[in-house]
A and B are shown apart, each in its own frame.
Chain A
Amino acid sequence: QKEVEQNSGPLSVPEGAIASLNCTYSDRVSQSFFWYRQYSGKSPELIMSIYSNGDKEDGRFTAQLNKASQYVSLLIRDSQPSDSATYLCAVNSGSARQLTFGSGTQLTVLP
């Protein structure tokens, strides 16, 4: 069983809508959770980090964490065509605190 699971998509939303991306993880001791955005052919870019249960907002992005359910989500409000990318969920694990990634969800925002 993969340690970090994401809906592979693709997910399409109209411009201005809310995009909702979901992620589950298997390691109960994980403490740190991240969302990265990756444009085609580029490297991952950190957009959100969350460490405590609840919501964390940064501009149009809101990350939600529920450790009891081992669930992390990312909401993108007022989606823009420039948000079209693959979104990677990542969890710190191991003694080196290396990141374990999901396979990513491809998001397309339609003008």
Chain B
Amino acid sequence: DTGVSQNPRHKITKRGQNVTFRCDPISEHNRLYWYRQTLGQGPEFLTYFQNEAQLEKSRLLSDRFSAERPKGSFSTLEIQRTEQGDSAMYLCASSPPWRDRVTYEQYFGPGTRLTVT
């Protein structure tokens, strides 16, 4: 399978705990995005990496959230001191290098569903 992969697929944690999610993009995709989706809403942008550089962060990304993409390959998203409001589906998407409009397409992984109790 050469698609975007995410782990874990499900995570249940208690309020106040830290959690970390991993995303492995499609091979050779240098652009990687994190989104969050709550029930009944479309995904909302969190942050963007081009290679290993984090170039864009949404206002949704509070200081409890941190993301990394060492070596420009996989990425991790960590949430510290989780709150019940963090319960959502966390989605990763990747996209190939920009050359023309076709490369603006983003392909999503299966997501990590986080439940904070």
Residues of chain A whose beta carbon lies under 8 Å from any beta carbon of chain B: 4, 31-32, 34, 36, 42-46, 49, 51, 88, 90, 92, 94-104
Contacts and interface: CB of A to CB of B under 8 A. Distances in A.
27 contacts: A4-B42, A32-B101, A42-B111, A43-B89, A43-B109, A43-B110, A44-B108, A45-B108, A46-B105, A46-B107, A90-B42, A92-B104, A94-B45, A94-B56, A96-B55, A96-B56, A97-B95, A97-B104, A98-B33, A98-B45, A99-B35, A99-B93, A101-B41, A101-B44, A102-B42, A103-B40, A104-B41
B43 interface: yes
Contact of B48 (A31, A49, A96): A96
Interface of B: 33, 35, 40-45, 48, 50, 55-56, 89, 91, 93, 95, 98, 101-102, 104-111
A101 B105 contact: no
B92 to A, nearest CB: 9
Nearest to B57: A96
A61 B15 CA distance: 44
Given A98-B48, A101-B43, 4 more contacts: A46-B105, A95-B56, A96-B56, A99-B35
Contacts of B91: 43-44
A103 B39 CA distance: 10
B108 A43 contact: yes
A83 to B, nearest CB: 19
Contacts of A4: 42
Nearest to B93: A99
B43 A99 contact: yes
B48 A34 contact: no
A31 B101 contact: yes
B100 to A, nearest CB: 9
A42 B109 CA distance: 9
Contacts of A101: 41-44
B42 A88 contact: yes
A43 B104 contact: no
A34 B102 CA distance: 11
Contacts of A92: 104
Contacts of B40: 103-104
